[in-house]
Structure 1
């Protein structure tokens, strides 16, 4: 059974590596593509929340984005898209809020 688990783990890790490499090599050459990337990838983790009950602070749900194996790669891709938009003279202030 451990050989099967090892094989599954190796397959999963190699698949994740392939996706990470594709994200790294993705070239941004068009304005519309850059805008879509910036709109699709949020600038901050959307899962962090404060829990309040009747206006009393109960607790906080920490950001879970760090658990995503592609979090850093997606943030780098978003930054590259923003950089591309800056280079072509596009105003990026609406995307930075």
Structure 2
């Protein structure tokens, strides 16, 4: 599941279909208009799926992943002068097409270290 699943058009369409299903009897479902699901060209899809399916089974790999993948976006900053915030630089990590996969991979590595190895992972938080 990603951010694009919660676009306003998607939510409106789902709400409209749910409301129309409640208003019509069960035998009338053939009249509910639905758009065919469009499949977009996703050149990065196989790499994203590979990252999602990657299992952590090595302690050293888990430690290195937790060190390499930051817990928070390193680019997010508040620019201050004399104690006043002039402007805020938003987190730019979400522009990365693999952001969700890296966060999930880091989470799986932390879970492996905590659950399987019994280590304290507060060092990485």
- TM-score, normalisation: structure 2: 0.63
- Alignment gaps of 5+ in structure 2: 1-40
Q: Deviations over 1:7-35 (max 9, x none)?
A: xxx4xx32x11210110121111100000
Is residue 86 of structure 2 the alignment partner of residue 58 of structure 1? Answer: yes
Q: Deviations over 1:26-59 (max 9, x none)?
A: 1111100000010000001111111123433211
Is residue 77 of structure 2 the alignment partner of residue 49 of structure 1? Answer: yes
2-side partners of 1:34 and 1:93: how far apart?
Answer: 14
Alignment of 1:22-41 (within 5 A): 22-41=50-69
Partner SS state of residue 88, structure 2: strand
Is residue 111 of structure 2 the alignment partner of residue 83 of structure 1? Answer: yes
- Alignment gaps of 5+ in structure 1: 1-9
- TM-score, normalisation: structure 1: 0.80
Partner SS state of residue 90, structure 1: coil
Alignment of 1:66-81 (within 5 A): 66-81=94-109
Identify which of structures 1 and 2 has the higher relative contact order when contacts are C-alpha pairs closer than 8 Å and 6+ apart: 1
Q: RMSD across aligned C-alpha pairs, in angstroms?
A: 1.5
Q: Which residue of structure 1 lines up, in the alignment, with residue 121 of structure 2?
A: 92
Which consecutive segments of 4 or more residues in structure 1 shift more than 3 A?
Answer: none
